[in-house]
Amino acid sequence: MPASAEFLAFIKEQLADFGPVSVRRMFGGAGIFRDGLMFALVADEMLYLKADAISQGDFEALALPPFSYDSKGGKRTVMAYWRAPEACLDDRDEMTEWAGKAYGAALRAHKPAKRAPIRRS
């Protein structure tokens, strides 16, 4: 089920205190970006936030599941995005806190582009 425009607008509104974000539709869902880094995704009207070894325990402590999907070959793929706590949908301060954790994970995972070596003649 594709992410509805209404749900995406609601999520963007909840993230207003976090800072400017952009939403890009992809694969029936949407990615949520800040400064060009994807830190959240929406699939099936659910918000998932990026996590890493530092923040994953926060999601696990609340028994929140990771985002997963079945690939064409029938293999289950689990991504580093975890369902956002329900409180994020009700409380902007809560959303700002969790979005900060997700953005931190995105920053830590970001690898700067490698520069091509300088050719000398």
- The per-residue pLDDT for range 96-107, each reduced to its tens digit, is 999 999 999 999
Q: How far apart are CA 28 and CA 83, in angstroms?
A: 17
Please name each of the domains of the chain with its CATH number: 5-109 (3.30.1460.30)
Low-confidence residues in the chain, pLDDT < 50: none
Predicted local distance difference test score (pLDDT) of residue 56: 96
Cβ neighbours for 13, distance < 8 A, ≥ 6 positions apart: none
Predicted local distance difference test score (pLDDT) of residue 70: 84
Q: In what order do the strands lie in the sheet with 76-83?
A: 22-26, 29-34, 37-43, 46-50, 76-83, 66-70
Predicted local distance difference test score (pLDDT) of residue 113: 63
Q: How many CB atoms lie within 10 A of CB 31?
A: 17
Predicted local distance difference test score (pLDDT) of residue 111: 75
Predicted local distance difference test score (pLDDT) of residue 25: 92
